[in-house]
Structures are given as structure tokens and as C-alpha cells.
């Protein structure tokens, strides 16, 4: 299999790598560390990418993008994830809030929200999961009640609780799933675009091994929202969620980081390769094969997107492969460096990256929908006789 995406993609990769290495040192591990300078550096880098026309390379020109192909966007995504996502939390707005707005937003919503995302100036969070409504998202209970006119023409009041909301403490906006009217399960769900500084919103950080800023609970207590806050049809939120999740599941190119770490650590270990235990040699080769399979399945999703579909089943198949390769690679890397993964990051940046990668890999098969749920989506499609 030839993974070469062509000369233009190679040039784009080189340009992105040069920018990353000019603005981040080798030990950079992403925005969510104990050092606030890392977060600030990612925010500055987003504005730089925007100025260079690289932040929304594949968005349509009308929406502030570069009009590039989905393959250009794939290259950007791979290089960013390979280098510990120097776009910080903004990849969420770029990868799926923006596309969801393009697909379902009114002209006013697009004009208001797309330019700040394209300029790298705004962070969005995604308020979907709730206590007892994660895998079974359709059972969510956060409610939006109309104020005055029952159609919502006078606005809404939103109450409920979200959980595991990434970046809620730093986000300016939330794309929020809430229940409206008497509709049951999927039928009652509506999407709202809510500023995070609205009265009645409280964010409580959840301490976790993913580091600061990442996971949060968000409480909504009678939060006001205007009629213009509704994204898509009233009761039509499930379609928006499906679009957002299909983009999300393919938007996280952790296979690119896996391959970069295998390559970097492989180069370091090469002189002592024969001293490593034989089972590790075999596990290393198996992990590399998994990485390549994950990449191939991710490319299949991009191809399906390119030909106009919402490739949710194919995206789930890719996501299963990506999260599994993430965990296999984490184990192989950790077995190779052992306790040295905890050594000072400045002296041994690859070792620090192994430790960071291992921690995040533990959550990979839960975030964006668990691996069991992804498997059921694929299995149901197979049973319906659909090509997967």
C-alpha cells in the first residue's frame, strides 16, 4: 500500500513541520499541561496558522477557508496530531463545530460563528454527554423550556447537567444538546449554541490523569438563550449530533502520533535493538501494522466524505482501529522505555512523549463514543447488509 498523497501534500507537510519546529521545542506535549505557557503558545499558533491560510485550509472560501481538498485537511490533521496538537482545544471548532454550522446553520449563525473559528480566536466545547446519558445519548435530560411563545420565538431557558465536557473551563461557546417539548429520545433533542459566560452556567473541573483543563462537569441553571441559539430544526438535533460525531471520529488522527513515536523511539533504540526481548520485536511489528491499518481506514472515511456521504459507519470502523492502535502502541513504547518514560522531559523528550501518550491512550476507547458502541454500529450495518 502506497500512503503517498502526492507532491503537494509532501510540500504541505514540510511547511507544517517547519512551522511547528519553529514555534515549539521538542518536548512540547500539548496545551493541557501544568505550564500555562503551553496553552498560550497553542493559542498564538492557531492565529499564526490562520494568518498563513492553514487553519481552515479545506473550508470553503465563502466561509473563510482556503477551498482546499479534504486530503489537504487530512495532512494538516495528521501533522498536528503527530506533533501533540499545537492547535490546542481549537481543533474541536475547526473539525466539527464549523462543519456542523455549515451544514445546519442559518446565514446569520454562519456569519457570526464561522469567521472567529477560521481566525483561530474562539474555543468551543461540546455539551452532549450527561450522567446516565453517555453511550445512550438519546436519554439525555437537559431541558430547554420556551419563554412566552411555545414555539421558542421569545427564547428559551435551559436547565440540566453535562459531564466529561472537554475544555469547558476555557471555551467561549458550547454546542449543547437539550430536550425540547414532549418528544421522546431522539425526537426531542435540539441543538443550541450557547455562550459559556451566560448567567446560570457553572463549570466544575474534574481532576484526571489527562491533566488540567481537560474534563469538566457543566451545570445549567435556567440559562437564557435567544431564538437565534437554535442550530437546525427544533427536534432535529440528532442529525446534527450524527454529523458532528462522524467528523469527530475521523478528526482525531492519533495514528499519526503513534507512527511518529514508533519511528523516533525506534531510531533511538536502533543501536541496542538486538538487546531488546524478542517478544517486544514482534509486538513492535504488530503495532506498526495496526497503525498502518488505522491510517488506511481513516483514508477510506476521507474518501467517503469526499464523495458526498456522511460516513458514520465507516468512521466508526476507522475509529475502532485508531483507538486500538493507540493502546497497542502505548504498551509497546512503554515496554521499550520502562521507567525512563518518567525521566525529565528536557533530556529525553521522546520518553516524556511516551508517558503522555500512554495516559491519553487509556481514554481513547471511551472518548467520542466507546469502542463497544462503535462495534455495535458496525455490526448493525453488517447485519443490514450494508458495505462497511
Ligand X SMILES: Cc1cc2nc3c(=O)[nH]c(=O)nc-3n(C[C@H](O)[C@H](O)[C@H](O)COP(=O)(O)OP(=O)(O)OC[C@H]3O[C@@H](n4cnc5c(N)ncnc54)[C@H](O)[C@@H]3O)c2cc1C
Task: Rule CB under 6 A: say whether 32 interacts with ligand X.
Answer: no
Cβ neighbourhood burial of 171 (10 Å; 0-12, 13-18, 19+): buried
Task: Rule CB under 6 A: say whether 138 interacts with ligand X.
Answer: no
- 292: which 3 cell numbers? 498502518
Nearer to ligand X by C-beta: 134 or 155? 134
User: How many chain residues interact with ligand X (CB under 6 A)?
Assistant: 18
Its sign, for the CA torsion 89, 189, 206, 208, is negative
Question: CB-based contacts of 181: which residues, under 8 Å, 6+ apart?
Answer: 188, 234, 235
Task: Rule CB under 6 A: say whether 327 interacts with ligand X.
Answer: no
Task: Rule CB under 6 A: say whether 343 interacts with ligand X.
Answer: no
Residues known to be catalytic: 248
| Position among 45, 156, 164, 238 found at the interface with ligand X (CB under 6 A) | 164
Rounded CA-CA distance 237/138 in Å is 10
Task: Rule CB under 6 A: say whether 369 interacts with ligand X.
Answer: yes
Task: Rule CB under 6 A: say whether 44 interacts with ligand X.
Answer: no
Rounded CA-CA distance 153/226 in Å is 8
Q: Residue 198 CB, nearest distance to ligand X (Å)?
A: 18
Of 48-56, 278-286, 344-352, 359-367, which segment contacts ligand X by CB under 6 A? Answer: 359-367
Task: Rule CB under 6 A: say whether 334 interacts with ligand X.
Answer: no
Q: Residue 126 CB, nearest distance to ligand X (Å)?
A: 4
CA distances 159 to 149, 176, 181, 198, Å, are 18, 11, 14, 12
Of 13-21, 121-129, 248-256, 264-272, which segment contacts ligand X by CB under 6 A? Answer: 121-129
Task: Rule CB under 6 A: say whether 147 interacts with ligand X.
Answer: no
- The closest alpha carbon to 81, from 375, 370, 368, 360, belongs to 360
Nearer to ligand X by C-beta: 83 or 213? 213
Its sign, for the CA torsion 25, 13, 60, 66, is positive
Task: Rule CB under 6 A: say whether 126 interacts with ligand X.
Answer: yes
Question: Under rule CB under 6 A, which residues in 165-224 are in contact with ligand X?
Answer: 165-166, 210
Rounded CA-CA distance 87/253 in Å is 13
Nearer to ligand X by C-beta: 56 or 126? 126
- 137: which 3 cell numbers? 445519548
Of 81-89, 164-172, 250-258, 316-324, which segment contacts ligand X by CB under 6 A? Answer: 164-172
How far from the centroid of its chain's Cα atoms is residue 190's Cα? 22
Task: Rule CB under 6 A: say whether 21 interacts with ligand X.
Answer: no
Positions that interact with ligand X (CB under 6 A): 125-129, 134-135, 164-166, 210, 363, 366-367, 369-370, 372-373
Amino acid at each position: 500500500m502506497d500512503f503517498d498523497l502526492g507532491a503537494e501534500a509532501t510540500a504541505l507537510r514540510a511547511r507544517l513541520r517547519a512551522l511547528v519546529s519553529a514555534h515549539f521545542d521538542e518536548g512540547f506535549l500539548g496545551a493541557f499541561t501544568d505550564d500555562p505557557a503551553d496553552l498560550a503558545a497553542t493559542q498564538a499558533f492557531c492565529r499564526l496558522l490562520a494568518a498563513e491560510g492553514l487553519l481552515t485550509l479545506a473550508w470553503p472560501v465563502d466561509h473563510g477557508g482556503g477551498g482546499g481538498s479534504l486530503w489537504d485537511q487530512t495532512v494538516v490533521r495528521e501533522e498536528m496530531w503527530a506533533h501533540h496538537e499545537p492547535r490546542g482545544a481549537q481543533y474541536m471548532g475547526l473539525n466539527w463545530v464549523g462543519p456542523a454550522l455549515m451544514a445546519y446553520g442559518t446565514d446569520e449563525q454562519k456569519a457570526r460563528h464561522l469567521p472567529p473559528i477560521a481566525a483561530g480566536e474562539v474555543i468551543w466545547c461540546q455539551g452532549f454527554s450527561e450522567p446516565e446519558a453517555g453511550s445512550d445519548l438519546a436519554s439525555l435530560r437537559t431541558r430547554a423550556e420556551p419563554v412566552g411563545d411555545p414555539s421558542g420565538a421569545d427564547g428559551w431557558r435551559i436547565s440540566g447537567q453535562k459531564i466529561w465536557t472537554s475544555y469547558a473551563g476555557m471555551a467561549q461557546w458550547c454546542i449543547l444538546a437539550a430536550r425540547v417539548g414532549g418528544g421522546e429520545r431522539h425526537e426531542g433533542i435540539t441543538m443550541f449554541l450557547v455562550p459559556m459566560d451566560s448567567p446560570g452556567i457553572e463549570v466544575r473541573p474534574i481532576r484526571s490523569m489527562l491533566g488540567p483543563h481537560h474534563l469538566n462537569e457543566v451545570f445549567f441553571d435556567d440559562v437564557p438563550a435567544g431564538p437565534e441559539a437554535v442550530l437546525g430544526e427544533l427536534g432535529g438535533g440528532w442529525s446534527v449530533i450524527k454529523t458532528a460525531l462522524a467528523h469527530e471520529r475521523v478528526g482525531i488522527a492519533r495514528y499519526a502520533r503513534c507512527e511518529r513515536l514508533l519511528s523516533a523511539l525506534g531510531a533511538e533504540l536502533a543501536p541496542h535493538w538486538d538487546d531488546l526481548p524478542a517478544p517486544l520485536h514482534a509486538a513492535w511489528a504488530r503495532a506498526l501494522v495496526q497503525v498502518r491499518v488505522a491510517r488506511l481506514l481513516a483514508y477510506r472515511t476521507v474518501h467517503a466524505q469526499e464523495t458526498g456521504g456522511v460516513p458514520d459507519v465507516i468512521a466508526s470502523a476507522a475509529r475502532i482501529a485508531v483507538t486500538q492502535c493507540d493502546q497497542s502502541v502505548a504498551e509497546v513504547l512503554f515496554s521499550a522505555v520502562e521507567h525512563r518514560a518518567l525521566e525529565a522531559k528536557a533530556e529525553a523528550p521522546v520518553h516524556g512523549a511516551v508517558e503522555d501518550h500512554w495516559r491519553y491512550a487509556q481514554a481513547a476507547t471511551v472518548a467520542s463514543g466507546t469502542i463497544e458502541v462503535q462495534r455495535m454500529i458496525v455490526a448493525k450495518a453488517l447485519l443490514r447488509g450494508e458495505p462497511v
